[in-house]
Structure 1
Amino acid sequence: MATALNGKLVTVFGGSGFLGRHIIRALALRGYRVRAAVRRPENAEHLQPLGVVGQIMPVQANIRNRDSVANAMRGADAVINLVGILHQSGKQTFDAVQAEGAENVAAVCAELGVSRVVHLSAIGADEKSSSMYARTKAAGENAFKKHCPEAIIFRPSIVFGPEDDFFNRFGAMARIAPALPLVGGGKTKFQPVFVGDVAEAVARAVDGEAVPGTTYELGGPEVRTFKECLQILLKVIRRRRPLVNLPFKMARFQARFMQLLPNPPLTVDQVELLKADNVVSQQAQDEGRTLQGLGIAAHTIEAILPSYVDKFMPHGQYDARRPLED
């Protein structure tokens, strides 16, 4: 816990999410005051114990509304935009959130003269992609480059850690399903990055340790295929489950129906994303636009995964000495 505040205020849009809470903790430890700008402040009260009394304050803001964005940003020394969605629902569309919403945040940063700006994007952001998620991520990046040329953009690969949407989802599936699906044969390559390492990178950018106007690509120390990720998970949670190939065409067909569910396990857009590898580019490595370039030693999946997936073991965290489940 920070012992003294440094007097600087950081507004974090989307601070109540999985990545947001880790970033806010990292900022609080450095002594920053944090304004967590979220759509429903009553659902962000869990953030306040991450700092000393009065250090972290949830405020209402909807990035689709430029006035609320401006109100949340007034007086801030730095701004971080983390808002993103994995699937569309109602007014929360990819265009509205990741393109138009990012445009609002970037434009207001420019209007208010905020000099230190960080935007979270994703590896695979591409305006020519067949995935709407990837196209709107690219549009968000372009908005910040246009309005805030000095903005620092972070593109992480798949992010893992407590409350993640990948290992937790498949761990829960392994408890009840007789097999796990390998979309596209499980050949898609990821470079899983620990949420704490991403949070440290963002905090260092706020500290001024990242190069302004640079796009960083954040990946862990190892490249793993989709299949290898599931194999590691099954080993850690001590379950035997066959991994069944699900061709892209079949996955797309099933996703058309799954995406109608409130919290869909798979969408058509996600199937499109899985057709491309999600790893740090060679150019980013050569130019030092990585975690290593920021002086951060990335954590491996094996070092972190056992700390939060024990609930998926057949007998919970006390399974270490038991044989593998059949």
Structure 2
Amino acid sequence: MAMPKNAPAAGPNLVTIYGGSGFVGRYVARRMARAGWRVRVACRNPNEALFVKVYGNVGQVEPVFCNVRDDASVAAVMEGADAVVNCVGILEEAGRNTFRAVQEEGAERIARLAVERGIGRMVQISAIGADPGSKSAYARTKAAGEAAVLRHLPDAVILRPSIVFGPEDEFFNRFASMARFGPVLPVVGAGTLFQPVYVDDVAHAAEKALTGAAMPGIYELGGPDVATFRELMEQMLDVIGRRRLIGNIPFPLASAMGWGAGAASRLSFGLVPQPVTVDQVRNLRRDNVVAGRAMTFADLGIEPMSMEAILPGYLWRFRKGGEYAEITESAKDLREDI
């Protein structure tokens, strides 16, 4: 497979990152700024994304408004760019932000308009489990988005991470927060396998693709640890120093709960929270690990970080005593020795 022909020209290149203020996007933005690129962070709320400005020198990183459902909006923030990254994705639908509109049509729109403007380098952030035949609309539209990008840009790089973790994640942070209340930590699909990947390792892969150090094609990105949902929760509980019973909710019951919560949320116009959706339950029925049919971190020369090295650095706030938990415990042991 040949390397991409559209290598960046000499000088300060410009990359437009759609969803660049989101969890993965902000790490891609920071890496590209450190690599000397100008970075345009395209997002729905630029005023809430001002934190990205500190990733580079004055004027190097700029948040701008964009709606991926609109051609004119997507095209406007693409002008003058040498490369584009699509980090936009949703875990549940809300109003006009449907899976199809955001993850399929949005990805197609970015790729199509990039070709029209002579931009040949694109990175699409997808997900392990993307499958056109899946019962999950999330997984089907992720696959459709990939196919649309490759139709327009055959030399694009598709990154499929497993569940992504890091300081701003909505996975370990969510369950660590839940673990502060009650003796039971409920999960759906306790036996489902995951291969969690550190967010900056995903961003590193995107940087390699944007700077021409990666072959075009599909990469499945998983960390060094493969564990069941239950085992991940046990590791998280160990990090935060809490003992909880992990209760597995059977899939049929979880689906019924998702349907009921969805109906309540719709009837209340979103005022009633929806802890799990039917589509998320469908996703949790399948293992979320590198399948071995695609390229991986090894093909990029990246050694991914382990959960053990990262989780304590940001989950400490969920411990009893917070950041002083270990000091308090040491002091207690010292008093017992006296």
**Structure 1 stretches of at least 4 aligned residues deviating more than 6 Å after TM superposition:** none
Structure 2 residue 274 is matched with structure 1 residue 264: yes
Worse-matched range after superposition: 173-182 or 199-208: 173-182
Which residue of structure 1 lines up, in the alignment, with residue 302 of structure 2? Answer: 296
Alignment of 1:1-326 (within 5 A): 6-184=11-189, 186-212=190-216, 214-259=217-262, 260=265, 264-284=274-294, 289-321=295-327
1:230 maps to amino acid: M
SS of 2:231 mapped into structure 1? helix
Worse-matched range after superposition: 161-170 or 174-183: 174-183
SS of 1:175 mapped into structure 2? coil
Q: How far does residue 139 in structure 1 lie from its aligned partner after superposition?
A: 0.7
Tell me, yes or no, if the aligned pair for 1:13 and 1:83 is still in contact at 8 Å. Answer: yes
Structure 2 Cα separation of the partners of residues 177 and 136 of structure 1: 37
1:296 maps to amino acid: I
Structure 1 Cα separation of the partners of residues 29 and 150 of structure 2: 24
Flag structure 1 segments of 5+ consecutive residues without an equivalent. none
Structure 2 Cα separation of the partners of residues 305 and 57 of structure 1: 30
Q: How far does residue 33 in structure 1 lie from its aligned partner after superposition?
A: 0.1
SS of 2:93 mapped into structure 1? coil
1:178 maps to amino acid: P
Q: How far does residue 59 in structure 1 lie from its aligned partner after superposition?
A: 1.2
Flag structure 2 segments of 5+ consecutive residues without an equivalent. 1-9, 330-338
2:37 maps to amino acid: Y
Q: How far does residue 6 in structure 1 lie from its aligned partner after superposition?
A: 4.5
Deviations along 1:37-80, whole A, 9 cap, x unmatched?
11121111111011110000111111100111111101100000
Structure 1 Cα separation of the partners of residues 156 and 57 of structure 2: 29
Change (3 A) 1:258 1:313: farther
Relative to the length of structure 2, the TM-score reads 0.90
Equivalent residues, number: 313
Structure 1 Cα separation of the partners of residues 187 and 60 of structure 2: 44
Tell me, yes or no, if the aligned pair for 1:6 and 1:31 is still in contact at 8 Å. Answer: no
Tell me, yes or no, if the aligned pair for 1:23 and 1:199 is still in contact at 8 Å. Answer: yes
SS of 1:130 mapped into structure 2? coil
Q: How far does residue 282 in structure 1 lie from its aligned partner after superposition?
A: 2.0
Deviations along 1:73-100, whole A, 9 cap, x unmatched?
0110000000000111111110110011
SS of 1:196 mapped into structure 2? helix
Structure 2 Cα separation of the partners of residues 159 and 271 of structure 1: 18
Structure 2 Cα separation of the partners of residues 157 and 322 of structure 1: 36
1:37 maps to amino acid: A
Structure 1 Cα separation of the partners of residues 327 and 135 of structure 2: 47
Q: How far does residue 115 in structure 1 lie from its aligned partner after superposition?
A: 1.4
SS of 1:62 mapped into structure 2? coil
